[in-house]
Structure 1
Amino acid sequence: MSEKNHDAKRTARQRLAVEREKQKASERRRRTLIVAAGVVCVLGLATVIGVVAANAGKSGGGSGPVAAPSGALGKDGLAIPVGADGAKSTLTVWEDFRCPACKAFEAAYRPTLHELTAAGRLKTEYHLVRLIDGNLGGTGSLRAANAAACAQDAGKFPAYHDVLYDNQPEETDDSFADNGKLIKLAGKVNGLDTPAFQKCVKDGVHDSWVEKSNKAFQAGHYSGTPTVLLDGKNIIEDRSMTPAKLKQTVEAANKR
């Protein structure tokens, strides 16, 4: 590996670590605010329930039947699979399209994941969540996840997934909440921008599915996004993990 490539990968790993620390700090601040506001929440519970009932559906949350995207796997059909079924290694990714740390992970690992997937050595199962919507407000995480699920229906999930990260707005910019923007980005994927895709996006066909996936993420007590498990082992928490080591681990598993 050239020194230039080594430096680039090291920089990407450092950026991922920085973004994860920012996310953890944001979560700690949010928890502090929740604790500080606890008495007010209890006293105002009846009012809050009334407001939530009055605004049901206006926030973009899914309240209809759960419609899993085509080909979804796993418990409750919450995983979008990419790669050969016969691959001996499985990468499980919990991600949020508004999450800058997820984009940093993409920058560092995407070429390796594409290479291993194309070779039939790795299958990736994507779980889409809306962590940033909860932390910062808005619906961009939900809308983008629904659009990605619509792309899965069209057989275009991998390409659209990459387009969303390549065009990710700033974390505080909720521009993914605009269905028009998501449909425009679909134009970057050959054959995706169809009337069926547009209707799926605008109707929020998979909103309830995204909400169910988000609840599963919360129930798993994961520390944040991205959470990336290689055959069940959290590689984000492994400080020694690099794209090269990931490739070596997967190839060793395929030789066994």
Structure 2
Amino acid sequence: MSEKNREGKRSARERLAVEREKRKAADKRRRALIVGASIVCVLALATVVGVLAANAGKSGKSSASGPATAPSGAVGKDGLAIPVGQDTAKSTLTVWEDFRCPACQAFETAYRPTIRQLADAGQLKVEYHLVTLIDANLRGSGSLRAANAAACAQDVGRFGDYHDVLYQNQPKETQDTFADNDKLIELAGEVDGLNTPTFEKCVKDGTHDSWVQKSNAAFQSGGFSGTPTVLLDGKNIYADQTITPAKLKQMVEAANKS
């Protein structure tokens, strides 16, 4: 082999090695955004008991100290989950989320199309549990107020659409924009048929505040470390750094074939 040919092959190998390193770096960045982002929304080192009740919304009242009023159609233990999808689906995705949590938004952005596709096909049902982690970590009441408003939307069958609107309009983690009930009511205008006097009253009265607080207590007692926490049929899949929307789809489809 001529020296020229050897040099050419060596250069080609070097270029391939560079490309492989670039792909590895890109994969690492993707995992950091979608999976590793969950470290952003971690539990505070010390939980302040009663912080939810102490941080009422900027407008409207809070009934966080009253009896827990579950939204219409809530399921699961103590009625703390909001269901999406068909009851007959073989697989259940359990999602613990906080509307102020940027990692939850990253999860929604990446996985929503796949989850919707599987739910619409009757292969997957989703149970959403709403928590107030960021309120406790950074102080404020936006997590509580947004969760209550989402529960109010569930009362009239508009949870899914309003859930998406909240994430599409999520403020920066350090900005407690969702603490303003008027802002939450304004965003309801983006969902057909939601912005009604009944919804507005539910939001301002904090009808489901105590229910949200009870859901957050269940999250803490469950030993979960942060949001989003995502379980497929009881197994924590989001902690697996190899999980992708495509892999989730494969797992659900395999379960439905068995």
Please report the TM-score for the alignment, with normalisation by the length of structure 1.
Answer: 0.83
Alpha-carbon distance, 1:58 to partner: 5.0
Q: 1:98 aligns with which of 91, 97, 100?
A: 100
Per-residue CA deviations over 1:21-76 (Å, capped at 9, x if unaligned) read: 3334xx5xx52xx59xxxxx9xxxxxxx9xx8xx9955226001110000000111
Contact 1:112 1:247 in 2 (8 A): yes
Match of 2:198 in 1: 196
Per-residue CA deviations over 1:137-187 (Å, capped at 9, x if unaligned) read: 000000000000000001000000000000000000000000000000000
1:154 aligns with 2:156: yes
Counterparts of 2:55 and 2:83, CA distance in 1: 28
Counterparts of 1:11 and 1:71, CA distance in 2: 39
Q: 2:230 aligns with which of 228, 231, 255?
A: 228
Which residue identity lines up with residue 105 of structure 1 in the other structure? Answer: F
Q: 1:187 aligns with which of 185, 189, 205?
A: 189
Counterparts of 1:152 and 1:9, CA distance in 2: 37
Which residue identity lines up with residue 119 of structure 2 in the other structure? Answer: T
Match of 1:20 in 2: 38
Structure whose alpha-carbon radius of gyration is higher = 2
Counterparts of 1:56 and 1:10, CA distance in 2: 36
The worse-fitting range, judged by mean Cα deviation, of 9-18 and 143-152 is 9-18
RMSD: 2.4
Unaligned runs of 5+ in 1: 1-6, 36-40, 42-48
Match of 1:255 in 2: 257
Match of 2:84 in 1: 82
- Number of residue-to-residue matches in the alignment: 228
Match of 2:136 in 1: 134
Counterparts of 1:56 and 1:247, CA distance in 2: 36
For the residue of structure 2 that corresponds to 1:169, the secondary structure is coil
For the residue of structure 1 that corresponds to 2:35, the secondary structure is helix
Identity %: 66
Alpha-carbon distance, 1:240 to partner: 1.4
Counterparts of 1:177 and 1:130, CA distance in 2: 12
Which residue identity lines up with residue 55 of structure 2 in the other structure? Answer: S
Counterparts of 1:254 and 1:180, CA distance in 2: 43
Please report the TM-score for the alignment, with normalisation by the length of structure 2.
Answer: 0.83
